[in-house]
Amino acid sequence: MEMEDGHGRETVPPGEWRRLLPEYVAAGARYSAVWAVVLASKGIPYSQETEQGQWRLLVPAEQLSAAVREISLYEDENRNWPPLPPLRPALDSGTYTTLSILILLAAFHNLVRSDLVTVAGNYPDWFSSGMMQSGKIMDGEWWRLVTSLTLHADLSHLLGNLCIGGVFVVLLCREMGSGLAWTLLLGAGLLGNLVNGYIQPATHNSIGASTAVFGVVGILAGLSVRRYSQLKKRRWAVPVAAALSLLVLIGSEGKNTDVGAHFFGLLAGLLLGLFTEVLIGRYGYPGRFLNVLLAVCSCLLVVTAWWYALQL
C-alpha cells in the first residue's frame, strides 16, 4: 500500500490511522479530492493511499471525529451547489413572432417612404415627427425614444438591423419567451436613447433600431454574466468582452453611425439582463399568459408613441 502525506511525499504515519469512509459522513456520500483541502484548512493531518487504483483518505484515530464533523459540515453546506437553473416552462421560441415583427418593420419602412395621405388630407412627416432629437426629448417629447427605433435612413440601414438583430432576438426569445424578450428589447432601446439624448447636444438627431439591437446583445451578455457568477465560474467577464468586441466591430463604423446610442443601448441591455436573471432566479420564468400580456403592452407602447408623434 502506497502512502503519501498532504504534500505528496511518501511517509509512514506514526500511531494508528483510520480510513475516512464516505458512510461516516452521510448516506450516498463519495470520496472527494476536496475533502483533503477541507482537512488541511482546519489543520487536521491526513494521508492519502491508493488501493487497486482507488484513492483513499486516512486520518489519525484521535482526529477521526473532528475530520468527520468538518467533512459533514462541508457536504451539508454544498449539497445543493451549484444551484440548478429555474425550471423553464414550455415557451414560444419566438421564431414566427420575430419574423412577423421584422416583416412589419420592413412594411412600415415602405409606408414611411410612400406618399400616404392621412384622413386630414395632409402628408405626415414621419422623420420630423419621430426621429430622436435630444433637445425635444429633454423638452418632454418622450415618444421619440420609441418612434425613432422604427425609422431607418435607407434600405441597407434597414436590412442590416433586420438581419443582425433578428438572429439575436430569436436567441433571446428562446431564453425567456417572445413577450418578455421584445419588452426587454424595447426597454433597452428606449433607455439607450434616453441616456444618449441626455448627454448629446440639443441638436443631435438619430434614427434606427440598432440601439435596440445592441440592447439585445447586452441582455444576452447580462444573462450569461449572472449565470456564470452563480456557478462561481471565472468566465463571467467573457460575455461582456464578446459584446464589447461586437460593438467595436460593427457598431462603430460609418460616418453616420451613432456610437453613443449603440454603447448606451448595450449598457442598458446588460443591466436589464442582470436584473431579469435575478428576478427569474427568484420567481421563475414567465408563463404563457404573462408573455402574451407583455407582448400586447409592447405593441401598445409603439402605437401610442406614434399616435402622439403624429398629433403635432
113-120 average pLDDT score: 61
- Over the stretch 183-198, which tens digit does the pLDDT of each residue have? 999 999 999 999 999 9
Per-residue confidence (pLDDT) for residue 93, from 0 to 100: 61
Per-residue confidence (pLDDT) for residue 94, from 0 to 100: 65
The amino acid present at 247, given as its one-letter code, is L
CATH class of 2-77: alpha beta
CA distances from 153 to 26, 47, 54, 191, 242 (A): 67, 72, 68, 21, 28
At residue 31 the predicted structure's pLDDT band, cuts being 50, 70 and 90, is low
- Over the stretch 138-177, which tens digit does the pLDDT of each residue have? 999 999 999 999 998 888 888 888 888 888 888 888 888 8
86: left (phi over 0), alpha (psi -120 to 50) or beta: beta
* pTM for the whole structure: 0.68
Per-residue confidence (pLDDT) for residue 233, from 0 to 100: 55
Which has the higher per-residue pLDDT, 304 or 38?
304
What is the residue-averaged pLDDT of the chain?
A: 79
Q: Per-domain residue ranges for the chain?
A: 2-77, 95-311
Instruction: Give the range among 36-40, 80-84, 156-160 with minimum mean pLDDT.
Output: 80-84
Question: Other CB atoms closer than 10 Å to residue 146's CB: what's the count?
Answer: 24
Q: In 114-154, which residue ranges form alpha helices assigned H by DSSP?
A: 126-130, 134-138, 144-147
- Over the stretch 226-279, which tens digit does the pLDDT of each residue have? 776 655 555 656 666 777 777 777 666 666 678 888 899 999 999 999 999 888
Q: Which helix (H) or strand (E) holds 49?
A: strand 47-51
Per-residue confidence (pLDDT) for residue 55, from 0 to 100: 67
- Asked if residue 86 has pLDDT above 60, the reply is no
Return phi, psi of residue 215, to 5°: -65, -40
In the block, cell 447580462 appears at: 222
Per-residue confidence (pLDDT) for residue 8, from 0 to 100: 42
> What is the CATH code for 95-311?
1.20.1540.10
